[in-house]
Amino acid sequence: MITSSSLSFRRTVVSIPNGPSALAVKEAAWGLARYAAISQDNGLVPIVEPEILLDGEHGIDRTSEGILLKPSMVTPGAECKEKATPKKFLSSGQSEVEATLNLNAMNQAPNPWLVSFSYARPLQNTCLKTWGGRLENVKVAQDALLVRSKANSLAQLGKYIGEEESDDAKKGMFVKGYVY
């Protein structure tokens, strides 16, 4: 049984507009593969995530070029004029509703395996904004988390409709030039 204490997470960030160079891709792949092997040797389940930043005008085809590890939602750059629909291609920067719709679209196609999610912001963003660190907002923030959790649970089954979503959940989360 996999539990949260048996998981290990590693992220490598890639920027499309200025690269990446062939050497950067090779080194990132080597580092992620080595990390995964070390994790497995120590009884952990590695979560390996090469992350493509949203900054730029690149289209969906350039974003998904060469992605092999962690099948994830792939989106065009935030400034790309041509937006991809959930039917064409599918984390970060999307609104909570967009991410949930994309997860739903992935689960409406026949899959030989479970398609789930490993993103936190589409579950947490509205909740954290609602809570704002104030004790009096705890209950309403918990209610917001329950709404997001139910929506993503339905999306994992391919049964999410997207009705009755809050305006906050529809707002994108992209932050231009975000630094990790």
Clarify whether 49 is annotated catalytic: yes
Angstrom distance (rounded) from CA 106 to CA 86: 8
pLDDT computed for residue 132 by the predictor: 92
* Structure tokens that stand for 78 in this block: 């935030």
Q: Of 27, 51, 65, 70, which residue is the catalytic one?
A: 70
The torsion angles phi and psi of 45, rounded to 5 degrees, stand at -100, 110
Angstrom distance (rounded) from CA 132 to CA 108: 35
Of 50, 51, 44, 59, which Cα lies nearest the Cα of 7?
Answer: 44
Q: What does the DSSP assignment read for 53-108?
A: P--SS--HHHHHTT--SS-------TT-SSPPPTTT---TTS-HHHHHHHHHHHHH
Query: Which regions in the chain score pLDDT beneath 50?
Result: 1-2, 4, 66-72, 90
Angstrom distance (rounded) from CA 14 to CA 24: 9
Contact 97, 169 (CB under 8 A): yes
Contact 145, 123 (CB under 8 A): yes
Clarify whether 79 is annotated catalytic: no
Q: Of 49, 51, 57, 171, which residue is the catalytic one?
A: 49
